[in-house]
Amino acid sequence: MRVRRWGTALTLLLSATALPATGAGTATAVAARAPHRPLPLARLFDNRAVSDNSRPGAADFDGAGHSLSAQDLAAAGWSPGSVLTLEGTRLGLPRTAPGTPDNVVADGQPVAVRGRGEALTFLVAGTGGPASGTGTVHYRDGSHSTYELTAPDWRSGPLSTKAVALPHINGPEGQSSGAARLYAVTVTLRAGREVSSVVLPKASAASGTLHVFAVSVRDTGRGRTGSWAASTAGYRAVGPWTDRTLRLVVHSGAGGPRARIRIANTFAATPVEVGAASIAVRGAGAAADGAPVPLTFGQGRTGTRIAAGAEAFSDPVGFTVPSDADLLVSIHLPGTVTAAPVHQEAAQLSYLSAAGSGDRTADAGGAAYPETMSSWPFLTGVDVEGGPGSVVALGDSITDGVKSTSGTNRRWPDVLARRFQAQHALPRYGVLNQGISANRIVTDRYQGDGVSTDTGGVSAQHRLERDVLAQPSARTVVVFEGINDVRWGTSADEVIAGLRALARRAHERGLRVVVATVAPCEGYPDCTAAVEARRQAVNAFLRDHARTVFDASLDFDAVLRDPQRPQRLLPAYDSGDHLHPGDTGLKALGDAVGLRALVPVRS
């Protein structure tokens, strides 16, 4: 086994010899030889999940002779021995050949895992249905904690939460079409304690078979603060772009002396090549205010290859990010890109170099960028070194800033970020805007796989891990969603159950949870009396249970509504469509937030 340190988390590169292979239904045999001392995961491998297309019968993942295609995995960038960043965790894929053991059937085996962080991420899948069980984490101080791990089924689990989907299933008779899935599932660790080993869940006859391919500790960035973020809202056809450079304009919240960026290939089926990247303070248009600072990846490489569904963080660089300033993040795409993960409603123009113009990331001037775009492809975050951590705004189009004036950064989270930076009595948190236009709490707009014109995102339930819990040093989440659910027929009880689930999961990770009431929308074409009744029922629950389910509440309904007709927006705050506040209404929201309500007690 080789252990490689990546930042402050440890990733196990699974290169040791494995135990003899068995089929999926061998829990008794596995338990009989389960070790008493923790072993590297690779030494516990007892199942063959991956076969070469030329020998599809050489693996048996599910006990019926079916398996994953090695060629499909390679096409997605998931080659043996690769190290991928999934849900903010660096995970080493098994360094195994097709047809050899590459995963373990979980049945109480102790696994040697080391590291300090706030969560533990498993690369898993269930066979024979979703699989779940209870495991144990042991810490170096002698304490332990339990965790619940659930792996969706590899053939029928939700696409919206998968780490990767593959187009084929291999079997004894050859290859057939049908999506195969693997999942990155994250569970909570005790804060501040160093992990010494992990005991996998015991097999249960009541669930499917739980397969584990990799496991690692996640540290979302102690000593870092999120300055800017955007959620991946969909996967859209673009270009095609060949050998071009994106110059994306984003606006900082918190400042700091060093910076890194996050590039995500969310929802993709194929890898993307990044040839080079840079960061600069914006001058005018596409021009930088000084020479852009080059960024590197993986301890000094100028570029990186990001597998399908994965993400990449640049190495921290000495670049002072001013607070409340426009930045230029330039990304060279040397290959041909036909589709990209995007945040569609940027409310900001960004720039694109001419076709075939090559790497223009070092250009200080803007002449090489003749084209504009109103979305943010690939880029999902800018983090700064130091600071107290981040407040995350989880929301829909009102949080996303739809109907605000483009290029002026008047979204309500922008207002909130400026307020935090302008004071010194409380921690000066970064504020991360994870709003997606058309997003819902309960149901997915975009189904989470394949090229689509829908950019309403997967549900808040399905993106909470990626967009909130995996954000750098997240301290508090503000949940302001629900209007799209009630407009599209979701019952008030379902919305309330969804909000409860979001709060429970965030609390499990130690975040403070602040909820906002749902704003009125009378006058918008589909805001009927039935919609209003559902909205009022949700808001009544939020007001009555603000301190029993959540840590605090914000009455955004009261801020925005017309006192003379409470089911509609105050005309002065209405953008004109009766659903979205304009600049004045968004400022009222940002100004109405009591900053102390967002500060965890421990701060």
Q: Does one domain contain both 210 and 358?
A: no
Summarised one tens digit per residue, pLDDT across range 500-515 is: 999 999 999 999 999 9
In terms of DSSP bridges, do strands 209-218 and 115-116 run parallel, antiparallel, or are they unpaired?
unpaired
DSSP 468: I
Q: Does one domain contain both 241 and 113?
A: no
In terms of DSSP bridges, do strands 430-435 and 390-395 run parallel, antiparallel, or are they unpaired?
parallel
Q: Does one domain contain both 514 and 428?
A: yes
C-alpha to C-alpha distance for 414 and 253, rounded to whole angstroms: 7
Summarised one tens digit per residue, pLDDT across range 297-356 is: 998 999 999 999 999 999 999 999 999 999 999 999 999 999 999 999 999 999 999 999
Of 306, 251, 315, the C-alpha closest to 282 is 251
Q: Does one domain contain both 427 and 516?
A: yes
Q: Is the dihedral of CA 376, 378, 380, 383 positive or negative?
A: negative
Its pTM stands at 0.93
Q: Does one domain contain both 587 and 450?
A: yes
Does residue 226 form part of some domain? no
Does residue 467 form part of some domain? yes
What is the structure's pLDDT at 36? 78
User: Looking at residue 548, which CATH number applies to its domain?
Assistant: 3.40.50.1110
Domain count, the chain: 3
Q: Which ranges of the chain have pLDDT less than 70?
A: 1-35, 221, 602-603
- Phi and psi at residue 187, in whole multiples of 5°? -125, 160
Q: Does one domain contain both 416 and 515?
A: yes
Residue with tokens 């057939």: 176
What is the structure's pLDDT at 35? 57
Does residue 223 form part of some domain? no
Q: Does one domain contain both 546 and 575?
A: yes
* Cβ within 8 Å of residue 167, ≥6 positions away: 72, 177, 178, 179, 269
Q: Does one domain contain both 437 and 366?
A: no
Does residue 224 form part of some domain? no
Q: Does one domain contain both 396 and 379?
A: no
Cα 278 to its chain centre, rounded Å, is 23
What is the structure's pLDDT at 242? 98
Does residue 572 form part of some domain? yes
DSSP 565: E
Q: Exposure pattern of 295-318 as b/e (b: 16+ CB <10 Å)?
A: bbbeeeeebbbbbbbbbbbbebbe
In terms of DSSP bridges, do strands 89-92 and 104-105 run parallel, antiparallel, or are they unpaired?
unpaired
Q: Does one domain contain both 327 and 357?
A: yes
Q: Does one domain contain both 311 and 407?
A: no
Around 361, how many Cα atoms within 13 Å sit in the side-chain half-sphere? 20
Range of the domain at 348: 231-384
* Cβ within 8 Å of residue 54, ≥6 positions away: none
Of 468, 465, 474, 486, the C-alpha closest to 567 is 486
Does residue 225 form part of some domain? no
What is the structure's pLDDT at 157? 97
What is the structure's pLDDT at 603? 54
Q: Does one domain contain both 197 and 50?
A: yes
What is the structure's pLDDT at 31? 42
Does residue 504 form part of some domain? yes
Last residue of a domain, one of 315, 350, 384: 384
Last residue of a domain, one of 187, 218, 249: 218
Does residue 23 form part of some domain? yes
Of 279, 280, 229, the C-alpha closest to 254 is 229
Last residue of a domain, one of 367, 384, 401: 384
C-alpha to C-alpha distance for 289 and 286, rounded to whole angstroms: 10
